[in-house]
Amino acid sequence: MNGHFAYDTVSEAINGLKARGFTLDFNLQENCLVCNDEKFDVDDFEIVEFHRFEGDTDPSDEAVVYAIESKNGIKGVLVNGYGISADPISEEIEKKLPIHKAG
């Protein structure tokens, strides 16, 4: 994780990242990310930082908040589960997203 930002909740992380310019929402598809109807292949974006959250009592509450910047300057947030909560994705995207399958 880059920087020295620590957040206690997913919503706090999202709000903090949005305040720092990561204002758009990325969505995960099997082999790419999507933002505003634009697709980003694995080479088209970088993970700037990420924050992992564990559910206190329920493993399905596990999530990762990613701060993402595309090569064309789009900055946004991706929220995704990890471990058993992870969405199915391609092997290339899985390698790009730290701790996607960890846990």
In tens, the pLDDT along 78-98 reads: 998 876 555 667 778 878 876
Return the pLDDT at 54.
81
Q: Quick one: pLDDT at residue 49?
A: 93
* Cβ neighbours of 18 (radius 10 Å): 16
Predicted TM-score of the model (pTM): 0.83
**DSSP class of residue 87?**
P
Q: Return the exposure string of 64-102: e unless at least 16 CB atoms fall within 10 Å of the residue's CB, then b.
A: bbbbbebeeebbbbbbbbbeebbeebeeebeebbeebee
CB neighbours (10 Å) of residue 45? 23
Give the model confidence (pLDDT) of 7-66 as tens digits. 989 999 999 999 999 999 999 887 899 999 999 999 999 999 999 888 665 555 688 999
- Comparing 96 with 1, the larger pLDDT belongs to 96
Does residue 75 carry a pLDDT above 50? Answer: yes
